[in-house]
Structure 1
Amino acid sequence: MADVQAGTVKRGPLSRIVDRLGSGAVQVLMILIGLFWLVPTLGLLVVSMRDETANNAEGWWTIFTKPAELTLSNYASLLATGFSASFWNTVMITVPTTILVIGIAAMAAYAFAWMDFKGRDPLFLVVVGLLIVPIQIALIPIATLYGQAGIFGTIPGVVLFHVAFGLPFAIFLLRNFFVGIPASLLEAARMDGASEWKIFSTVVFPLGKPAIASLGIFQFLWVWNDLLIALVFADASNQPMTKALQSQMRQFGTNVDIIAPGAFLSLIIPLVLFFAFQRYFVQGMMAGSVK
């Protein structure tokens, strides 16, 4: 209390270390950590561009002394297996799912945060309770329902499943962010005659960009990297990349020259997406986790 009254704030050991090292040294350290984190990605890229004989004989790091071993023939062989169709299947599953989850969850979160209706709080508790429901218990009932509806093994069926199980977390995250928006902004918009949809689209949604971008990254990664739902609900003609790679592993065993380029292609898109929206990521996660 004496430190606070005297106008000083007690600093932690991490802050004192940063002061002693200097901001430049800390930045260099963070860059080195980032580069170290990217080493597995670099190794996967190198392995995907070497033939099977070279990969079996030596480690990927020897490429720095033998750059002539790099080739794109592995990617040509991968595309010859029909992997490009699996890539577009993944896109057609992931992009609509992410858009639908963000759109539906944002509107529901606004309703839970700023609209008064009967049963709002109990209904929100039900949504929160759905967060603990494991996906596995719904596989057989929904597979039966899909068979009766005629959408089993189709891309819309996979999208609907991901949307249904992605909404609880999405609503919870966005609602916790939206309630932090100053009520005076919404009241001023209502006094100007704005409808609820106008307030949502012009005030709440733009202010929620950090949380929405964070949610978009999470949802995209979950669906892009999903294997369980693809194995159950996608047939051979609609399989995404994860199922295609799994089938290659079962069919060819240790055929790294096929699996490595496929794994790198499935990795590079989420990596680019994360780096593109990383400035929103921490801000959105912190905002959605403290309410």
Structure 2
Amino acid sequence: MHYGPSGVAGQKAILTWAVHLSVGLLVLLWVVPTLGLLVSSFRTADQISSTGWWKAPFAAEQVLQVRTADPGTQVQEGDLYVIEGQLLDETQAEKIASWGTSSRDVAAYQPGDVAEVRGGGTITVGEDGAYRMENTEPFEGGRGQRVFITAMVPPELTLENYRYMLFDDSNVNGMSRAFFNTLTVSIPATVIPILVAAFAAYALAWMEFPGRALLVAVIVGLLVVPLQLALIPLLKLHLGIGIGKGYLGVWLAHTGFGLPLAIYLLRNYMAGLPRDIIENARVDGATEYQIFVRIILPLSFPALASFAIFQFLWTWNDLLVAKVFLIDATGQTTVMTAQIVELMGTRGGNWEILATAAFVSILVPLLVFFFMQKYLVRGLLAGSVK
């Protein structure tokens, strides 16, 4: 059978292509930033500031800041005081394209040119990185002359960023503590709403009682309540009843914000289960609790697992609720998102450290996504069809 351009077959083919292109675009929008973050976490600060992450496999022209030897190494040659050395010792560059002594003009001189040094004297830098400083008076000061060199630097990937984040004494306590604090928040904040929502969803799906339809309507309405609208009233309630700012408060907050969606998804899923199974169990004398534990829960595992993934990802990446309910000046309850904010404040120019910290924070969600993605798909479809 042949269908024309406006026939059903043609429309279906166009719709299929549109779906495939949309999915491909969404995957691309998600994968590209994640890949860029991963590559940047292995790059040095100079590479990140000079080229994009997509140029990581190739040599790139970079401006490097180096210093000459300190004045204590100077030697006297006749009437001149001389300091000599090599500027490329600590870099991977092979030759210098240009150089300068001021950040305002990092390419002011070509190899072999002579430049005046602040404080007296001159400096000459060769293409191979060898330099010579001369002065008729002794060089003074405790540090060497700052020099900016422009050179082609081969690609370099390093584990130094991860060593600092995970093993350096100056930072390991902060990140490791933040990692376990995030687990302490996320796991209970995922388990508690699932337990409550499962009982509520079963009651709304299979138990007859007055006001059931009204409760379902209220739950649907709660789905559109903005999170920000309830933060301050909820915090005042916690302070009024003595909960204060701590793990219990943030668990209850995440439970309250996650329950409407959990009940809605689970109720729709449970309502779609075969009625004959529940009715036969009741005829055999099973109680509501036995039906719930032995029949409903095993059959509802895909929906339970899918919401657990949603809730875990939400609580793991949360910053707003943690900032409101986990304020701790000593940093004992700081979560990873808040720790990254602290790094942005204290190490705002160290993009390699920020990229590494960000990737460490999304590593667990990435693992959860890749290993449990089939439940994510089922969760999106839970209750949508019968």
| Same fold at TM > 0.5 | yes
**How far apart in 1 are the matches of 2:265 and 2:30?**
28
Match of 1:165 in 2: 257
Q: Which has the higher helix share?
A: 1
Equivalent of 2:353 in 258, 267, 275: 258
SS of 1:91's equivalent in the other structure is helix
Instruction: Compute the displacement of 1:106 (Å).
Output: 1.1
**How far apart in 1 are the matches of 2:26 and 2:237?**
48
The structure having more radius of gyration, on CA atoms, is 2
The letter of the residue matching 2:39 is V
The letter of the residue matching 1:53 is D
Moved more, 181-190 or 79-88: 79-88
Match of 1:191 in 2: 283
Q: Which has the higher strand share?
A: 2
The letter of the residue matching 2:53 is W
1:63 aligns with 2:56: yes
Indicate conservation of the 8 Å contact 1:173/1:289, yes or no: no
1:77 aligns with 2:164: yes
Instruction: Compute the displacement of 1:133 (Å).
Output: 1.9
Deviating above 3 A after TM superposition, structure 1's stretches of 4 or more consecutive aligned residues are 9-19, 30-37, 65-68, 148-151
1:147 aligns with 2:234: no
1:47 aligns with 2:34: no
Name the % identity.
47
For normalisation by structure 2, the TM-score amounts to 0.65
Within-5 A mapping of 1:3-18: 10-11=8-9, 13-15=11-13
Deviations 1:212-269 (A, max 9, x none): 2221221112111111111111123212111111122123323212211111012121
Gaps of 5+ in 1: 4-8, 20-25
Aligned-residue RMSD, C-alpha: 2.8
For normalisation by structure 1, the TM-score amounts to 0.84
Instruction: Compute the displacement of 1:37 (Å).
Output: 4.3
The letter of the residue matching 1:73 is E
Higher relative contact order (CA 8 A, sep 6+): 1
Within-5 A mapping of 1:84-163: 84-163=176-255
1:270 aligns with 2:263: no
SS of 1:152's equivalent in the other structure is coil
Instruction: Compute the displacement of 1:278 (Å).
Output: 1.6
Moved more, 125-134 or 67-76: 67-76
SS of 1:266's equivalent in the other structure is helix
**How far apart in 1 are the matches of 2:225 and 2:364?**
29
